Each structure stands twice: as structure tokens, then as C-alpha cells.
Amino acid sequence: DNCSNITSKNITPNADFYPQAWYEPEENTLYVRNIKVERTGGYNHALENESNDGLTVVFMGKNYFRAKNSSTIFLKKNTTLKSYNGNTEENTLRVWCYEYEGIHVQNKATLTIEGLGIDVFSDKHYPLSAKREEGLYIKNSAVTVYGGDRFYDFKDITFENITFDAFHSSSTLIYISDTDPSHYYTLTLKGENKANLDWASFIKTKTNFTIKGDGSFMDYGGASQGILVDNNRGMTFRLEGGCALTFSKPIPFRSTTGNETLEIDNSSLRNVVLYSFNNINISGSRIVQPAGGTLTNGKIMVNGEEYTNSVTIVKSEWEKPSIDNASVKVEDVTHTTATVTWKQATDNATPKELMCYYVFLDDSRTGNRKHVGELIGKDTLKLKDLTPDTRYTVIVKALDECGNFVFYNEKTFTTPTDKEAYAAVSGSTLTFYYDNQRAKR
């Protein structure tokens, strides 16, 4: 009858609404609304799925699951945690645990988190963990995870259009403890994924790890401890399939023993400082930073010397950026200044934040063309030191990381003559200026 059919002394209100929990057998779906579940004692989980394969749990409103002496959520079968309507602010789940994992998955099951605002914390253990054979798929969700290493020993992880916040902690986002060099783990990227890693490392792995898919991951925090690969028996860290990793500031990418291999195939890796790799393989991608950098004997070299600063390697492509040709505007023109704006370009490989714009100015009096601006990810430039009574032409060029470029339509404007009067208002006083001199009021 679609009414509350689950009752427990452990279910209490978590908001100013009546808490509800009910199960729809035909949908194999458990619905929860504004509930708080708090458990103590061994094996007393707030949510446990032992045998119901394909269970979906739909969250409405604000929900809070907490356990002290066991994993808060314990899953042995494929389970989906999702929002009622995809609103990550309206529908949320907070998972809190003291001594064990916030969420633990085993028995080769996959946990899917979809359209949910989720906050997971473990005081003494891992927020989300697995047994090296399980999957984690996070889609269209806002994720805050803190405590120990966040995603521990999941064999296959997928991020699809998520936002992530490490919440002021220095543990690792993805940690693989497996040391068997015959084992392989993956991260698949779909869509645009953005994170504030804060001080957290992005990935630490002790065996083979592949990042694939045609999506992207960008850390905008700028303080991450980077990526660490560590297996003295040899392992490979690989990027493939057009995926892109971007860091807002240079982060370390370390080979601990030198026996680890980095492979980049038709993918992009931006703003990393490579440490101790003795074997780097690049195919279908090119080095764009440092300029003139080459791959020689498994190392990045410039002028015969190994390069030790930030490196950017991007997917090789020859498609020009896409622009709105007629979007260039010149506004707020005075005797000596003007403001130029344009709509930002889009590209099949270079993100908007890294698109480069060159701005040129043609002077009709001298016939000279001057380079007046070079901007990254911007759409506005203030022109200064212009000459009064002069016709100018603005030219804007959009350039992607691989050197493909396109020009916007040119825009012409004329600065006012010195003989043209203009007015300035200050408070209630109106002052006229003529020939750049203060006139009578």
C-alpha cells in the first residue's frame, strides 16, 4: 500500500519531517526519507545487503547512518544508492563510522552511487573499502569522503560527472594495497569530474593500474600530494582511450623504485613533475611542456638534459577549436582605453580552462599590428594606452594545446577625438570635460 512498512527502534527522525522507510518488492527498491539510523555492537550495521542482488536504495531528504563497532553499510550483493530526483543538495546521505569502514563491499559486488549528495567518514578505518575484486561506480553525485584512504582496494572504479571534496585531509583518494604484479586495477573516467583533493594523494598503487575512458578528472585544489606507484618487481601505470588528468598546480608523480613504467596512449596528463621513472612510453600523445621536450631512452629530455620540472603531455589531435565567430565585442571605449570580450572556444581535447587566446591590435594610423594580450581560459581583455581619434581593429586567435588554432571575426572601433566632450558624474555634481580640460559647471 506504499506506506511505511519498516519500523525499528533504531530509525529516528533526522529532519523536521516524519521519518519513513519502506520496501517495494516489485521494484526491488528500498525508500528512505529523513531518517537517522544509529547502531552499536559488532555486526550491527545501519544498512546491510547480504543476499538481495540488484537492490536499489532511494534517498529522500536528509539521512544519517551511523555505526560504532561495525561497518555502517555492509554489502555483499550489487547495490545502488541513489537520490529520488538527482538533486544532490536536496537528497543526501551522511555515513559515519568509528572503528570500521563507512561502507564496505565484498563478494565481487559493485556499489553504484547515483545522483546523490553523499558524505562518508571513518574515524579509524577506510571510508569506502573492498576486497580487491569489487566495483565502485559513482555517477552525477557530490561526494565528500574523509578519514583514512578513501577508496581502498576496489578493483574497478568509474567516475562519471562527479564532484569530490577531500575535506582537509592528507590520505589518499584511491589506494591499492595489492602487490601482485600480475593483477590489474582500473579507473574509468566518463564526462567531466572535478575535485578538491586538498592535501590528499590522488592515487597510490602497488600494482598495475590503468586510467581509461574518454572523460576527464581535474583537481582544482592545488595542494595534492600527487600519484605514487610502488612495486620493485615491476608494474605499469597506464593512461589510455583519450582520458585526461589535469592538475591546477604542479603535483608529484613518483616512481618509488624506478622499476615502475609509465605509459601514455592517446591521452593527456597535465602539470605533473615526474620522479625516478626509468621507463616512460608515449604513443598517440605529444609533449607540449616543456617546449622542445623529447622522449629519449624512457626519459623526457630538453637540450640533452633530463627535464625535472612540470610536464604536460596531451593527446595528439588536429581538430581546430570551435568558436562563435561573431562573438568579439569592443565596449567601454574612451580616448585611451577599451574592453574586448569574446565567447570562449570549445575543443575536443583541451578544456576551456586551458584554452589560449592571443589578442592583436591593428593601428590604422601606423599600419602596425601589435600583440597586446595572451590569456589562458579568459574571455576579457582591457586595452590601454590607445591614441585618441584612431581606428583600431581587434583580432582574437584561439589556440589549443596541440597548436590547432582559429581566428574570430575581426572587430573595428574608433577612439573619440580630443575635441569630443564627455561628462563625468560624482555624487550630485555633473562635470563636463572638453579637450581633456575641466569646463565650467
Is residue 89 helix, strand or coil? coil
Per residue in 137-165, pLDDT (tens digit) is 999 999 999 887 899 999 999 999 999 99
How confident is the model at residue 14, as a pLDDT?
Answer: 72
What pLDDT sits at residue 419?
Answer: 60
pLDDT of amino acid 171 = 81
What confidence score (pLDDT) does residue 311 get? 96
Q: Is the CB of residue 155 less than 8 Å from the CB of residue 181? A: no
| Segment among 12-16, 145-149, 206-210, 244-248 with least mean pLDDT | 12-16
> What number is the average pLDDT over the span 89-114?
96
Percent of the chain surpassing pLDDT 70: 91
Please tell me which residue, 18 or 213, carries the higher pLDDT value. 213
What is the rounded average pLDDT of the residues 268-295? 95
**Phi and psi for 352 in degrees, rounded to 5?**
-55, -40
C-alpha cell, 343: 565567447
Write the burial class of residue 366 (CB in 10 Å: 0-12 exposed, 13-18 middle, 19+ buried): exposed
- Is residue 178 classed as helix, strand or coil in its secondary structure? coil
> Is the predicted pLDDT of residue 60 greater than 90, yes or no?
yes
- The more confident residue out of 365 and 42 is 365
Rounded average pLDDT over 37-55 = 93
Residue 349's pLDDT band (cuts 50, 70, 90): confident
pLDDT tens digits for range 379-406 = 999 999 999 999 999 999 999 998 999 9
Sign of the Cα pseudo-torsion (101, 103, 107, 108, in order): negative
pLDDT of 212 higher than 60: yes
pLDDT (mean) for 320-327: 96
pLDDT at 168: 67
Q: What are the grid coordinates assigned to 54, written together?
A: 540488484
pTM assigned to the model: 0.84
Q: What angle do CA 31, 35, 37 make, to 5 degrees?
A: 110
Length of the chain: 441
Judged by average pLDDT, the poorest of 136-150, 170-184, 291-305, 413-427 is: 413-427
Q: Does a cis peptide bond (omega within 30 degrees of 0) precede residue 290?
A: yes
Question: What band does 427 get if pLDDT is binned at 50, 70 and 90?
Answer: low
pLDDT of the residue at 2: 35
pLDDT band for 441, please (50, 70, 90 cuts): very low
- pLDDT, position 426: 46
Per-residue pLDDT reduced to its tens digit, 283-307: 999 999 999 999 999 999 999 999 9
pLDDT of residue 119: 96
Confidence of residue 433 (pLDDT cuts 50, 70, 90): low
- For position 440, what pLDDT does the model report? 39
Integer angstrom CA distances of residue 288 from 151, 294, 424: 32, 10, 49
If you average pLDDT over residues 74-83, what whole number do you get? 98
Report the pLDDT value the prediction gives residue 341, as an integer from 0 to 100.
98
Question: Does residue 43 surpass a pLDDT of 50?
Answer: yes
87 contacts: CB under 8 Å, gap ≥ 6: 115
Please give the Cα distance from 263 to 400 (Å, whole number): 23
> Predicted confidence band at 4 (pLDDT cuts at 50, 70, 90)?
very low
- pLDDT of 16: 62
